[in-house]
Amino acid sequence: MPIIAKERLLKLLHEVPENYYELVNFFLDADISIADKNIKSKTFLQREIDKLNIENLQFPQLNQLRAWLEQENKSTREEYQNYLVMRKQGGKRQYFSNLGQAFEFLTKVAPLKQVDGAWLYSTVNYWNNTDLHDLILIYLEELGTGKATANHVCLYHHLLKNLGLDEWNLYLEDEYYQQAAIQLALGYAPPEFLPEIMGYNLEYEQLPLHLLITNFELAELGVDASYFNLHITIDNQDNGHAHRSIKMVEKFATKYQDKDNFYHKLKQGYALNQLGVGSVQIIRELNLDYFVHKILKKKAITGSLIHNNRCVFNHKTVNQWLSSPEQVELFIAYLVESEWIKFGTDPEESRFWKLIHSESGRMFGVFNLAERQIIYDWIRGEFPSRFRISHTHPIPYLHDTDRFTLDYLAQLEHEKLQSVIHHSPDISDKMNQLIPYLAPHLHHQKMGLWSTHVYTQLLFPYVLQP
Ligand SMILES: [Fe+2]
Ligand SMILES: [Fe+2]
């Protein structure tokens, strides 16, 4: 390992960085041991718990929990019906006025979606405790029980890749990584955090109104909403994740000696969901103007110094305009002022759009289709859309691409694991071999999917389709 990388690792091991992005990378780093991740998760979670405002949290007594959540679920469904009526009567979309905004949303929730299910990772260690099986099964279902086409992380990667949004991490501030860091820390938390994990799970698995509306509006805009739709069906309160999350709390509450302590910890876990920037806040604060500026500033980093000095706008060369984020802001203002960008009109009338979109344009190829869609919607505003990105060749799922990829070392490791599992004398030995591959950074890879399938087969053979 290079010395610089080693120094970074050592630094991360000894302190909890303020930066959530670094923490997410710490938990997803294959070179850091599970034991070190366990230690870090404890310190980090304590720091986040200290930020909570538990006094103002709406949370019922345990004997009223089920009725309270059922009532919440009913109000959500009623509000959704009101939304549908409003739309049927000609009302406008409430969340995404255009595709560009939908892309901005999909990008901003990506850090969390890339670790979907992670808060439950530690539960797979308790496979011989049947009281925790409902929780483990939720985790395995988040992992698609080993099928790439049902693994939530694979599904989201697939969605972004198909839309050309897979470079989302270039455009995000640190605050969008806070919930992802919390989920990963819960996934590596020691056993005393089980009540917090159950509390977190309880909130996360309930049906929120924003999920229903997001699913509806994305589909309406022609985006494949199956990731969101899946969470409406699989998390249902009748027999899905929401139901099982309540069942687990009810069951565990009777087993804890110190009932008050369990209740307090459960509430803390529930409240952890409120930290950071959630979907509702992201939707409320969608700002295509700011987002496009970010994209243009990012492009300017590679674009500066590659133009020749004959390209001059208003006495400055393009290289000078692109030399710093402040200059890029001024450049955008100049392009608007000089009508290279005409807001609220057909983008075809804007020279800047033609420059980046027309095949003969000088900047054709600088922006991919998704970025062009975002810029198109930014320019046109309320002007009717005539442009819609289309991908004629959908990207195949992981398990399909695997057939064409030759990774000799991975193949060897996979064969070794298969042989070890096959020859293992007992189930606990097999489980110990499999569990590391069910970790958040691995379960969506080829060996992770295989290990998830075998783990599920050993513990819950009845859930696998023949
Ligand atoms: Fe999920
Ligand atoms: Fe779920």
Centre of ligand 1 to C-alpha 142, Å, is: 5
Q: How confident is the model at residue 452 (pLDDT cuts 50, 70, 90)?
A: very high
Whether 324 and 459 map to the same domain: the answer is no
Centre of ligand 2 to C-alpha 376, Å, is: 35
State residue 166's pLDDT score. 84
Centre of ligand 1 to C-alpha 112, Å, is: 10
- 431 pLDDT exceeds 60? yes
Centre of ligand 2 to C-alpha 70, Å, is: 17
- 401 pLDDT exceeds 50? no
Q: What is the chain's mean pLDDT, rounded? A: 89
Read off the tokens for 432: 């110990």
pLDDT tens for residues 213-239? 999 999 999 999 999 999 998 877 777
pLDDT tens for residues 31-86? 999 999 999 999 999 999 999 999 889 999 999 999 999 999 999 999 999 999 99
Whether 452 and 352 map to the same domain: the answer is no
Considering only residues 243 and 302, tell me which one the structure prediction assigns the higher pLDDT.
243
Centre of ligand 2 to C-alpha 1, Å, is: 37
The span from the CA of 12 to the CA of 286, in Å, is: 33
Residues lying with their CB under 5 A of ligand 2, a single-atom ion: 235, 241
Whether 294 and 403 map to the same domain: the answer is no
State residue 236's pLDDT score. 76
Centre of ligand 2 to C-alpha 361, Å, is: 46
Centre of ligand 1 to C-alpha 139, Å, is: 9
- Asked if residues 155 and 230 have their Cβ atoms less than 8 Å apart, the reply is yes
User: CATH number of the domain that 264 lies in?
Assistant: 1.20.910
Whether 368 and 416 map to the same domain: the answer is no
Whether 446 and 417 map to the same domain: the answer is yes
Whether residue 16 lies inside any domain: the answer is no
Whether 198 and 333 map to the same domain: the answer is no
Whether residue 21 lies inside any domain: the answer is no
Please give the tally of structural domains in the chain.
3
Most confident of 116-125, 359-368, 376-385: 116-125
Q: How confident is the model at residue 457 (pLDDT cuts 50, 70, 90)?
A: very high
Q: Which domain holds residue 413?
A: 399-463
pLDDT tens for residues 135-172? 999 999 999 999 999 999 999 999 999 898 988 777 89
Angle separating helix axes 34-49 and 259-272, nearest 10 degrees: 90
pLDDT tens for residues 126-138? 999 999 999 999 9
pLDDT tens for residues 191-220? 999 999 999 999 999 999 999 999 999 999
Centre of ligand 2 to C-alpha 205, Å, is: 5
State residue 1's pLDDT score. 55
Whether 410 and 263 map to the same domain: the answer is no
Show Cβ contacts of residue 71 under 8 Å, excluding neighbours closer than 6 positions. Answer: none
State residue 306's pLDDT score. 64
Whether residue 7 lies inside any domain: the answer is no
State residue 403's pLDDT score. 47
Whether 295 and 158 map to the same domain: the answer is no
Tell me the backbone φ, ψ of residue 313, rounded to 5 degrees.
-125, 125
What percent of the chain lies above the pLDDT cut of 90? 64
Instruction: Tell me the mean pLDDT in the region 238-253.
Output: 88
- 360 pLDDT exceeds 50? yes
pLDDT tens for residues 307-358? 666 677 778 887 788 888 888 899 899 999 989 999 999 999 999 998 888 8
